[in-house]
A = this chain, B = another copy of it.
Amino acid sequence: MAVSSSLVTYAFQGGMSLSKTKTCSKDFMSYSSLCKQSGCLKSLYPRHPRFLPNEKVTKLELTNRSSGKTGILCQALEIENAPSFSVGKKFQLDDVIEAQQFDRDILNAIFEVALDMEKIEKNSPGSQILKGYLMATLFYEPSTRTRLSFESAMKRLGGEVLTTENAREFSSAAKGETLEDTIRTVEGYSDIIVMRHFESGAAKRAAATADIPIINAGDGPGQHPTQALLDVYTIEREIGKLDGITVGLVGDLANGRTVRSLAYLLAKYKDVKIYFVSPDVVKMKDDIKDYLTSKGIEWQESADLMEVASKCDVVYQTRIQRERFGEKIDLYEEARGKYIVDGRVLEVLQKHAVVMHPLPRLDEITVDVDADPRAAYFRQAKNGLYIRMALLKLLLVGW
Protein backbone atom coordinates (compact mmCIF):
# COMPACT_ATOMS: atom_id res chain seq x y z
CA MET A 1 0.00 0.00 0.00
CA ALA A 2 1.06 3.53 -0.64
CA VAL A 3 0.76 4.37 2.98
CA SER A 4 3.21 1.76 4.16
CA SER A 5 5.75 2.52 1.50
CA SER A 6 6.26 6.21 2.17
CA LEU A 7 9.24 7.61 3.88
CA VAL A 8 7.61 8.58 7.13
CA THR A 9 4.19 7.67 8.29
CA TYR A 10 2.36 9.68 10.88
CA ALA A 11 -1.05 9.22 12.35
CA PHE A 12 -3.04 12.42 12.52
CA GLN A 13 -6.15 12.23 14.60
CA GLY A 14 -8.85 13.65 12.40
CA GLY A 15 -6.41 15.43 10.18
CA MET A 16 -7.54 13.78 7.06
CA SER A 17 -11.22 14.08 7.70
CA LEU A 18 -10.90 17.85 7.64
CA SER A 19 -9.84 17.92 4.03
CA LYS A 20 -12.77 15.77 3.07
CA THR A 21 -15.59 17.63 4.72
CA LYS A 22 -17.82 19.46 2.37
CA THR A 23 -17.38 22.87 3.85
CA CYS A 24 -13.65 23.33 3.65
CA SER A 25 -12.88 22.93 0.01
CA LYS A 26 -11.33 26.35 -0.09
CA ASP A 27 -9.13 25.59 2.85
CA PHE A 28 -7.95 22.49 1.07
CA MET A 29 -7.12 24.49 -2.00
CA SER A 30 -5.17 27.10 -0.08
CA TYR A 31 -3.21 24.42 1.76
CA SER A 32 -2.23 22.71 -1.42
CA SER A 33 -1.36 26.01 -3.07
CA LEU A 34 0.87 26.72 -0.14
CA CYS A 35 2.53 23.38 -0.61
CA LYS A 36 3.20 24.04 -4.24
CA GLN A 37 4.71 27.40 -3.48
CA SER A 38 6.87 26.37 -0.57
CA GLY A 39 8.03 23.30 -2.42
CA CYS A 40 9.09 21.47 0.71
CA LEU A 41 6.03 19.81 2.06
CA LYS A 42 4.59 18.11 -0.98
CA SER A 43 1.27 17.65 0.75
CA LEU A 44 -0.27 16.83 4.03
CA TYR A 45 -2.57 14.56 2.16
CA PRO A 46 -1.86 11.33 0.38
CA ARG A 47 -1.99 11.45 -3.40
CA HIS A 48 -4.97 9.14 -3.70
CA PRO A 49 -7.30 9.98 -0.87
CA ARG A 50 -10.18 8.21 -2.57
CA PHE A 51 -9.03 4.76 -1.60
CA LEU A 52 -7.39 5.29 1.75
CA PRO A 53 -8.12 2.33 3.94
CA ASN A 54 -7.89 4.44 7.04
CA GLU A 55 -8.67 8.10 7.02
CA LYS A 56 -6.77 8.80 10.18
CA VAL A 57 -3.45 7.72 8.78
CA THR A 58 -1.80 10.03 6.35
CA LYS A 59 1.68 10.52 5.08
CA LEU A 60 4.25 13.22 4.95
CA GLU A 61 6.34 13.06 1.83
CA LEU A 62 9.63 14.90 2.01
CA THR A 63 10.09 15.22 -1.71
CA ASN A 64 11.21 18.40 -3.33
CA ARG A 65 10.20 18.54 -6.93
CA SER A 66 12.46 21.41 -7.84
CA SER A 67 15.73 20.32 -6.31
CA GLY A 68 17.68 19.20 -9.37
CA LYS A 69 17.43 16.45 -11.85
CA THR A 70 18.50 13.03 -10.70
CA GLY A 71 16.37 11.34 -8.14
CA ILE A 72 13.83 14.00 -7.59
CA LEU A 73 10.85 12.28 -8.97
CA CYS A 74 11.50 8.81 -7.74
CA GLN A 75 13.27 8.28 -4.52
CA ALA A 76 14.12 5.24 -2.53
CA LEU A 77 12.32 5.79 0.70
CA GLU A 78 12.86 4.03 3.95
CA ILE A 79 10.06 2.55 5.87
CA GLU A 80 9.95 1.94 9.56
CA ASN A 81 12.26 -0.93 10.50
CA ALA A 82 13.52 -1.28 6.94
CA PRO A 83 16.45 1.07 6.83
CA SER A 84 17.93 0.30 3.44
CA PHE A 85 16.30 0.38 0.03
CA SER A 86 18.32 -2.54 -1.25
CA VAL A 87 17.04 -4.60 1.64
CA GLY A 88 13.47 -3.55 1.99
CA LYS A 89 12.98 -2.92 -1.69
CA LYS A 90 10.35 -0.31 -0.91
CA PHE A 91 10.18 3.06 -2.52
CA GLN A 92 7.55 5.57 -3.43
CA LEU A 93 7.14 6.09 -7.14
CA ASP A 94 5.37 9.38 -7.75
CA ASP A 95 5.63 9.90 -11.50
CA VAL A 96 7.44 8.32 -14.42
CA ILE A 97 9.02 11.17 -16.35
CA GLU A 98 12.47 10.23 -17.61
CA ALA A 99 14.88 7.30 -17.73
CA GLN A 100 17.31 9.20 -15.51
CA GLN A 101 15.05 8.86 -12.50
CA PHE A 102 15.70 5.13 -12.19
CA ASP A 103 18.74 3.61 -10.54
CA ARG A 104 19.76 -0.01 -10.66
CA ASP A 105 17.88 -1.00 -7.51
CA ILE A 106 14.68 0.61 -8.63
CA LEU A 107 14.98 -1.03 -12.03
CA ASN A 108 15.41 -4.44 -10.40
CA ALA A 109 12.46 -3.82 -8.14
CA ILE A 110 10.24 -2.79 -11.05
CA PHE A 111 11.35 -5.81 -13.08
CA GLU A 112 10.33 -8.13 -10.27
CA VAL A 113 6.86 -6.64 -10.33
CA ALA A 114 6.80 -6.91 -14.13
CA LEU A 115 7.54 -10.61 -13.80
CA ASP A 116 4.58 -10.98 -11.48
CA MET A 117 2.52 -9.17 -14.10
CA GLU A 118 3.45 -11.77 -16.70
CA LYS A 119 1.94 -14.42 -14.47
CA ILE A 120 -1.16 -12.35 -13.80
CA GLU A 121 -1.71 -11.65 -17.48
CA LYS A 122 -1.30 -15.28 -18.46
CA ASN A 123 -3.19 -17.06 -15.75
CA SER A 124 -5.89 -15.06 -14.11
CA PRO A 125 -9.41 -14.59 -15.46
CA GLY A 126 -9.18 -10.84 -15.03
CA SER A 127 -7.12 -9.38 -12.23
CA GLN A 128 -8.87 -6.82 -10.05
CA ILE A 129 -5.78 -5.18 -8.53
CA LEU A 130 -6.70 -1.78 -9.98
CA LYS A 131 -10.46 -2.12 -9.80
CA GLY A 132 -12.01 1.28 -9.16
CA TYR A 133 -9.04 3.19 -10.57
CA LEU A 134 -9.35 5.38 -13.63
CA MET A 135 -6.48 6.17 -15.99
CA ALA A 136 -6.70 9.06 -18.46
CA THR A 137 -4.65 8.75 -21.65
CA LEU A 138 -4.01 12.32 -22.67
CA PHE A 139 -2.40 12.12 -26.11
CA TYR A 140 -1.46 15.37 -27.83
CA GLU A 141 -0.27 13.39 -30.82
CA PRO A 142 -1.50 9.96 -31.86
CA SER A 143 0.57 6.96 -30.89
CA THR A 144 -1.84 4.10 -31.16
CA ARG A 145 0.72 1.45 -30.32
CA THR A 146 1.77 3.10 -27.05
CA ARG A 147 -1.76 4.03 -26.11
CA LEU A 148 -3.11 0.52 -26.65
CA SER A 149 -0.28 -0.92 -24.61
CA PHE A 150 -1.06 1.33 -21.64
CA GLU A 151 -4.79 0.82 -21.92
CA SER A 152 -4.36 -2.94 -22.12
CA ALA A 153 -2.12 -2.82 -19.05
CA MET A 154 -4.74 -0.88 -17.09
CA LYS A 155 -7.59 -3.14 -18.15
CA ARG A 156 -5.64 -6.35 -17.53
CA LEU A 157 -5.45 -5.19 -13.91
CA GLY A 158 -9.16 -4.41 -13.67
CA GLY A 159 -8.79 -0.64 -14.02
CA GLU A 160 -10.76 1.67 -16.25
CA VAL A 161 -9.64 4.10 -18.93
CA LEU A 162 -10.62 7.53 -20.25
CA THR A 163 -9.19 7.94 -23.73
CA THR A 164 -8.34 10.98 -25.71
CA GLU A 165 -6.21 11.06 -28.79
CA ASN A 166 -7.07 14.60 -29.72
CA ALA A 167 -5.87 16.30 -26.59
CA ARG A 168 -4.58 19.11 -28.78
CA GLU A 169 -8.18 20.22 -28.89
CA PHE A 170 -7.79 21.32 -25.26
CA SER A 171 -5.23 23.85 -26.33
CA SER A 172 -6.50 24.60 -29.81
CA ALA A 173 -5.76 27.98 -31.34
CA ALA A 174 -9.22 29.27 -30.59
CA LYS A 175 -9.12 28.19 -26.97
CA GLY A 176 -5.47 28.41 -26.04
CA GLU A 177 -5.62 26.63 -22.69
CA THR A 178 -2.26 26.00 -21.01
CA LEU A 179 -1.08 22.47 -20.35
CA GLU A 180 -1.23 23.23 -16.65
CA ASP A 181 -4.92 24.14 -16.78
CA THR A 182 -5.70 21.02 -18.80
CA ILE A 183 -3.88 18.85 -16.28
CA ARG A 184 -5.76 20.46 -13.39
CA THR A 185 -9.04 19.68 -15.13
CA VAL A 186 -8.23 16.12 -16.17
CA GLU A 187 -6.83 15.18 -12.77
CA GLY A 188 -10.31 15.88 -11.41
CA TYR A 189 -11.66 13.09 -13.59
CA SER A 190 -9.03 10.40 -13.11
CA ASP A 191 -6.51 8.78 -10.76
CA ILE A 192 -3.50 8.74 -13.06
CA ILE A 193 -2.62 10.46 -16.34
CA VAL A 194 -0.62 8.86 -19.15
CA MET A 195 0.52 11.70 -21.35
CA ARG A 196 2.00 11.92 -24.82
CA HIS A 197 3.08 15.35 -25.96
CA PHE A 198 4.90 16.93 -28.86
CA GLU A 199 7.08 19.17 -26.68
CA SER A 200 10.11 18.09 -24.76
CA GLY A 201 9.64 18.72 -21.05
CA ALA A 202 5.84 18.69 -21.18
CA ALA A 203 5.63 15.63 -18.92
CA LYS A 204 7.75 17.28 -16.27
CA ARG A 205 5.55 20.37 -16.35
CA ALA A 206 2.48 18.18 -16.02
CA ALA A 207 3.97 16.33 -13.05
CA ALA A 208 4.80 19.60 -11.33
CA THR A 209 1.17 20.63 -11.63
CA ALA A 210 -0.70 17.43 -10.93
CA ASP A 211 -1.58 15.98 -7.57
CA ILE A 212 -2.03 12.56 -9.20
CA PRO A 213 0.74 10.50 -10.85
CA ILE A 214 1.85 11.33 -14.38
CA ILE A 215 3.44 8.80 -16.74
CA ASN A 216 5.36 10.21 -19.68
CA ALA A 217 4.42 8.20 -22.77
CA GLY A 218 6.82 10.23 -24.88
CA ASP A 219 7.29 13.97 -25.03
CA GLY A 220 8.61 15.05 -28.39
CA PRO A 221 12.31 14.47 -28.90
CA GLY A 222 12.66 14.25 -25.16
CA GLN A 223 11.95 11.14 -23.18
CA HIS A 224 10.04 7.90 -23.56
CA PRO A 225 10.95 6.24 -20.27
CA THR A 226 8.63 3.24 -20.42
CA GLN A 227 10.26 2.24 -23.71
CA ALA A 228 13.66 2.40 -22.04
CA LEU A 229 12.43 0.27 -19.16
CA LEU A 230 10.94 -2.39 -21.40
CA ASP A 231 14.16 -2.57 -23.42
CA VAL A 232 16.29 -3.24 -20.35
CA TYR A 233 13.67 -5.65 -19.00
CA THR A 234 13.69 -7.54 -22.29
CA ILE A 235 17.48 -7.93 -22.21
CA GLU A 236 17.30 -9.36 -18.74
CA ARG A 237 14.44 -11.70 -19.66
CA GLU A 238 16.12 -12.89 -22.85
CA ILE A 239 19.79 -13.03 -21.80
CA GLY A 240 19.25 -13.68 -18.11
CA LYS A 241 21.57 -10.95 -16.89
CA LEU A 242 22.54 -7.32 -17.40
CA ASP A 243 26.02 -7.23 -15.96
CA GLY A 244 28.71 -8.29 -18.35
CA ILE A 245 26.66 -8.11 -21.52
CA THR A 246 27.72 -6.92 -24.95
CA VAL A 247 25.19 -4.87 -26.88
CA GLY A 248 25.28 -3.64 -30.48
CA LEU A 249 23.17 -0.55 -31.14
CA VAL A 250 22.47 -0.30 -34.86
CA GLY A 251 20.85 2.23 -37.16
CA ASP A 252 19.84 5.81 -36.40
CA LEU A 253 21.79 6.50 -33.21
CA ALA A 254 21.68 10.28 -33.55
CA ASN A 255 17.94 10.78 -33.42
CA GLY A 256 16.60 7.63 -31.82
CA ARG A 257 15.67 8.48 -28.23
CA THR A 258 15.28 4.74 -27.68
CA VAL A 259 18.95 3.86 -28.15
CA ARG A 260 20.08 6.96 -26.30
CA SER A 261 17.99 6.07 -23.25
CA LEU A 262 19.06 2.43 -23.46
CA ALA A 263 22.76 3.37 -23.52
CA TYR A 264 22.14 5.60 -20.54
CA LEU A 265 20.48 2.86 -18.51
CA LEU A 266 23.03 0.18 -19.48
CA ALA A 267 25.69 2.37 -17.89
CA LYS A 268 24.19 1.43 -14.54
CA TYR A 269 25.39 -2.17 -14.95
CA LYS A 270 28.87 -3.70 -14.65
CA ASP A 271 31.22 -4.77 -17.41
CA VAL A 272 28.85 -3.75 -20.16
CA LYS A 273 30.33 -3.31 -23.64
CA ILE A 274 28.51 -1.30 -26.29
CA TYR A 275 29.12 -1.23 -30.06
CA PHE A 276 27.68 1.60 -32.14
CA VAL A 277 26.96 0.65 -35.74
CA SER A 278 25.44 3.44 -37.77
CA PRO A 279 25.72 5.35 -41.04
CA ASP A 280 27.97 8.39 -40.66
CA VAL A 281 25.11 10.88 -40.87
CA VAL A 282 23.32 9.46 -37.85
CA LYS A 283 26.13 8.53 -35.48
CA MET A 284 25.72 8.45 -31.70
CA LYS A 285 26.25 11.91 -30.26
CA ASP A 286 29.09 12.84 -27.97
CA ASP A 287 26.99 13.48 -24.88
CA ILE A 288 26.12 9.81 -24.54
CA LYS A 289 29.64 8.69 -25.43
CA ASP A 290 31.08 11.01 -22.79
CA TYR A 291 28.57 9.80 -20.26
CA LEU A 292 29.46 6.16 -20.92
CA THR A 293 33.16 6.93 -20.62
CA SER A 294 32.58 8.74 -17.34
CA LYS A 295 30.83 5.67 -16.02
CA GLY A 296 33.61 3.34 -17.11
CA ILE A 297 31.53 1.69 -19.82
CA GLU A 298 33.54 0.33 -22.75
CA TRP A 299 32.17 1.46 -26.09
CA GLN A 300 33.37 1.30 -29.67
CA GLU A 301 32.16 2.50 -33.05
CA SER A 302 32.19 -0.01 -35.87
CA ALA A 303 31.22 -0.13 -39.53
CA ASP A 304 31.13 -3.93 -39.64
CA LEU A 305 27.73 -5.20 -38.58
CA MET A 306 28.72 -8.84 -39.20
CA GLU A 307 31.65 -8.67 -36.87
CA VAL A 308 29.68 -6.86 -34.18
CA ALA A 309 26.80 -9.32 -34.48
CA SER A 310 29.15 -12.22 -33.90
CA LYS A 311 30.28 -10.73 -30.59
CA CYS A 312 27.03 -9.41 -29.13
CA ASP A 313 24.45 -10.76 -26.73
CA VAL A 314 21.99 -8.23 -28.09
CA VAL A 315 21.77 -6.65 -31.54
CA TYR A 316 19.43 -3.69 -31.10
CA GLN A 317 18.32 -2.52 -34.54
CA THR A 318 16.48 0.76 -35.14
CA ARG A 319 14.67 2.38 -38.01
CA ILE A 320 16.36 5.12 -40.05
CA GLN A 321 13.73 7.85 -39.89
CA ARG A 322 13.14 9.43 -43.26
CA GLU A 323 11.65 12.55 -41.72
CA ARG A 324 15.05 13.37 -40.20
CA PHE A 325 16.65 13.80 -43.64
CA GLY A 326 14.36 16.45 -45.05
CA GLU A 327 15.08 16.83 -48.75
CA LYS A 328 18.29 14.83 -48.70
CA ILE A 329 16.54 11.70 -49.97
CA ASP A 330 19.76 10.28 -51.40
CA LEU A 331 21.47 10.40 -48.01
CA TYR A 332 18.41 8.72 -46.49
CA GLU A 333 18.38 5.94 -49.08
CA GLU A 334 22.07 5.32 -48.57
CA ALA A 335 21.80 5.28 -44.78
CA ARG A 336 18.73 3.13 -44.86
CA GLY A 337 20.15 0.25 -46.83
CA LYS A 338 23.50 0.12 -45.09
CA TYR A 339 22.88 -2.08 -42.05
CA ILE A 340 20.17 -4.68 -42.49
CA VAL A 341 19.61 -7.55 -40.08
CA ASP A 342 18.90 -10.56 -42.28
CA GLY A 343 19.65 -14.25 -42.59
CA ARG A 344 23.36 -13.61 -43.00
CA VAL A 345 23.49 -11.78 -39.70
CA LEU A 346 21.64 -14.66 -38.06
CA GLU A 347 24.36 -17.01 -39.29
CA VAL A 348 27.04 -15.23 -37.28
CA LEU A 349 24.83 -14.38 -34.32
CA GLN A 350 25.54 -16.47 -31.25
CA LYS A 351 22.98 -19.09 -30.31
CA HIS A 352 21.99 -17.41 -27.05
CA ALA A 353 21.90 -13.90 -28.51
CA VAL A 354 18.80 -11.96 -29.57
CA VAL A 355 17.73 -9.33 -32.08
CA MET A 356 15.67 -6.45 -30.66
CA HIS A 357 13.85 -3.53 -32.29
CA PRO A 358 11.53 -0.90 -30.78
CA LEU A 359 9.07 -1.30 -33.68
CA PRO A 360 7.62 -0.37 -36.07
CA ARG A 361 10.18 -1.74 -38.53
CA LEU A 362 10.39 -1.26 -42.23
CA ASP A 363 12.98 -3.43 -43.95
CA GLU A 364 15.91 -2.92 -41.57
CA ILE A 365 15.10 -6.43 -40.33
CA THR A 366 13.99 -8.76 -43.11
CA VAL A 367 10.83 -10.77 -42.49
CA ASP A 368 12.63 -14.12 -42.77
CA VAL A 369 14.32 -13.28 -39.47
CA ASP A 370 10.93 -13.34 -37.69
CA ALA A 371 10.77 -17.13 -37.56
CA ASP A 372 14.12 -17.42 -35.80
CA PRO A 373 13.83 -17.95 -32.02
CA ARG A 374 16.42 -15.20 -31.58
CA ALA A 375 14.06 -12.62 -33.06
CA ALA A 376 12.92 -11.04 -29.79
CA TYR A 377 11.15 -7.91 -31.02
CA PHE A 378 7.58 -9.08 -30.70
CA ARG A 379 8.31 -10.49 -27.26
CA GLN A 380 9.90 -7.11 -26.53
CA ALA A 381 6.66 -5.35 -27.51
CA LYS A 382 4.76 -7.68 -25.23
CA ASN A 383 7.14 -6.85 -22.39
CA GLY A 384 5.97 -3.27 -22.75
CA LEU A 385 2.63 -4.49 -21.47
CA TYR A 386 4.19 -6.06 -18.37
CA ILE A 387 6.34 -3.03 -17.61
CA ARG A 388 3.34 -0.73 -17.92
CA MET A 389 1.21 -3.02 -15.75
CA ALA A 390 3.98 -2.91 -13.15
CA LEU A 391 4.27 0.88 -13.25
CA LEU A 392 0.52 1.41 -13.00
CA LYS A 393 0.35 -0.91 -10.03
CA LEU A 394 3.28 0.76 -8.30
CA LEU A 395 2.01 4.29 -8.91
CA LEU A 396 -1.56 3.54 -7.87
CA VAL A 397 -1.41 1.03 -5.05
CA GLY A 398 2.30 0.83 -4.21
CA TRP A 399 4.09 -2.38 -3.32
Contact = CB atoms under 8 A, between A and B. Distances in A.
A1 interface: no
B373 A33 contact: yes
A27 B238 CA distance: 11
Given A50-B122, A132-B126, A174-B322, A164 B144 contact: yes
A185 B145 contact: yes
Contacts of A305: none
Contacts of A367: 178, 180
Chain A interface mostly helix, strand, loop or mixed?
Answer: helix
Contacts of A285: none
A185 B381 contact: yes
Nearest to A323: B174
Given A188-B378, A362-B176, A142 B155 contact: no
A57 interface: no
A185 B151 CA distance: 14
Given A50-B123, A132-B125, A155-B134, A165 B166 contact: yes
A152 B145 contact: no
Contacts of A86: none
A105 interface: no
A283 interface: no
Contact of A145 (B145, B170, B361): B170
A156 B185 contact: no
Contacts of A237: 22, 25
Interface in A314-357: 319, 321-323, 354
